Structure 1
Amino acid sequence: MSPQSELSCRPDCGACCTAPSITSPIPGMPGGKPAGIPCVQLLPDRRCAIFGEPTRPAFCAGLKPSADMCGETRGHALAWLTQLEVATAPGRAA
């Protein structure tokens, strides 16, 4: 197993629940969420309240922690995911 596949979420991070936009419905956010806005399902300890639930968006379930994405700090993860959001935004010139 590669080191990246062994990573788990960093406690008190929640960067992946804040930085990216999510276009599919989320319980409590039927229109999804814009980039940079914390998901309503993000608990005070920055864990997902619907982790593993069928109502969790496929986008969330497909986003797996990796050394590149997560880095050593929450700040790194937020910056990395924000850059990815900008690079993949609809209408962005290639």
Structure 2
Amino acid sequence: MDCRTGCGACCIAPSISSSIPGMPDGKPAGVRCIQLNENNLCKLFGKPERPKVCLSFQPCPDVCGNTNQVALDNLIALEQMT
């Protein structure tokens, strides 16, 4: 499965403990990543500065569902379980 363009759920819902350019301490769950632009596209996509955790996230139908809102809801639930 390819990412749904403009979704951004994986850049909002989960916490990220590693440093992100502009967010040296990472980001808490539910906080929009500073590198997510107004169209919900990652400004670091394809760049070496992109955190490894972001590189390793693989979209799948069970997590991403059929809409951006479903993806966000699913990722929020997964974050809360962990």
Using the size of structure 2 for normalisation, the TM-score is 0.95
1:24 pairs with 10, 18, 29, which one? 18
In the alignment, residue 51 of structure 1 is paired with which amino acid?
A: F
% of aligned pairs identical?
Answer: 52
Q: Greater RCO between the two (CA within 8 Å, min separation 6)?
A: 2
Report the AA paired with residue 25 of structure 2: G
User: Which residue of 2 is the match for residue 4 of structure 1?
Assistant: none
Q: Is residue 66 of structure 2 the alignment partner of residue 76 of structure 1?
A: no
Larger radius of gyration: 1
Following superposition, the deviation at residue 32 of structure 1 comes to 0.2
RMSD of aligned residue pairs (Cα, Å): 0.7
For 2:29, the equivalent position in structure 1 comes to 35
State which of 57, 60, 64 in structure 2 corresponds to 1:66.
Answer: 60
| Structure-2 separation of matches of 1:21 and 1:52 | 21
Runs of 4+ in 1 over 4 A off after TM superposition: none
Gaps of 5+ in 1: 1-6, 89-94
2: CA distance between counterparts of 1:62 and 1:69? 15
Instruction: List runs of 5+ in structure 2 lacking aligned partners.
Output: none
Quote how far apart the aligned CAs of 1:60 are.
0.5
1:18-73 per-residue CA deviation (whole Å, 9 max, x = no partner) reads 00000000000000000001100001110100012111111101111100111001
**1:11 CA displacement:** 1.8
2:9 and 2:71 map into 1 onto residues whose CA distance is 6
